Structures are given as structure tokens and as C-alpha cells.
Structure 1
Amino acid sequence: MESTIGLCKTELIKPRRPWKTLSQVELATAEWVDWYNHSRLHGETGHVPPVEYETNYYTELTKPQVTTVI
């Protein structure tokens, strides 16, 4: 969590300062979190957004297993 907070500060909070209101920070943070969770491409997941990767993971997990009888 600490690295995510640090990333948010580096990518969002510091470059846009000075902030005029708390509401501006809250809205920008909500937008950044949405982007972080739904749109960003991550190298460890094959450059697939996190939500798509998680959906694919659970889809594969719930597929029926094929077994063969010899």
C-alpha cells in the first residue's frame, strides 16, 4: 500500500500543486484510483489492465476441468 500511495503522490499530487481545495484533491484522487485499477497497463500482467487480468483469471479458474478416463 505504501508504494501505491507514493506512486499517487509522485504521479498526481506533487505535479499538480498547489491545490486550491480539498474537493479538487478528492476528485483527482478518485479519478487516479479509477485509472490505476481499470485502465493502466502493467508489464507483469502482459500489458493488460488489472481489472481485465483479474476477470480473465477468475474466468479460467471457474472453467470445468477436462478429465480423461483410460
Structure 2
Amino acid sequence: MESFWGRMQTEPLNSRKTWQTVIELITAMNAWLAFYNSKRQHSNTGYMSPDQYEVL
């Protein structure tokens, strides 16, 4: 869980982009979560994305 929060702070939230509204920030965080949960490779699944792991 700590690595998840660390990634969230360094990848989408710590970018040079400034958010005009809270809605923009929430939308960006949701898009990043969708990427993190379905596409990003995880070491505990043998460096497969969760989608690839679920197919096995």
C-alpha cells in the first residue's frame, strides 16, 4: 500500500501541471487509477499487468 501512495504522489500528483478545479484533479486521479489497476506491471504478478494475470 505504501508503494501505491508513493507512486500516486510522484506520478500524477507531483507533475508540473496545475489543476484548475478539483474536478480536473479527480478526473486525472481516476484516469491514473484505471491505468495503475489494469495496465501497469506489478512485481508480485511476475511483472504482468493485472489484466494479463487474470487471464491466466
Please report the TM-score for the alignment, with normalisation by the length of structure 2: 0.75
Identity %: 36
Q: CA deviation at 1:18?
A: 1.8
RMSD: 1.8
1:13-59: CA deviation from partner (whole Å, max 9, x where unpaired): 11143211101111111111110111112344233102321442xxx
2:8 counterpart letter in structure 1: C
Unaligned runs of 5+ in 2: none
Please report the TM-score for the alignment, with normalisation by the length of structure 1: 0.63
Structural mapping, 1:18-33, within 5 Å: 18-33=18-33
Following TM superposition, the consecutive aligned residue runs of length 4 or more in structure 1 with deviations greater than 3 angstroms are none
| Cα distance between partner residues in 1 of 2:48 and 2:16 | 27
Larger Rg: 1
Specify which structure has the bigger relative contact order, considering alpha-carbon pairs within 8 angstroms and separated by 6 or more residues. Answer: 2
Unaligned runs of 5+ in 1: 57-70
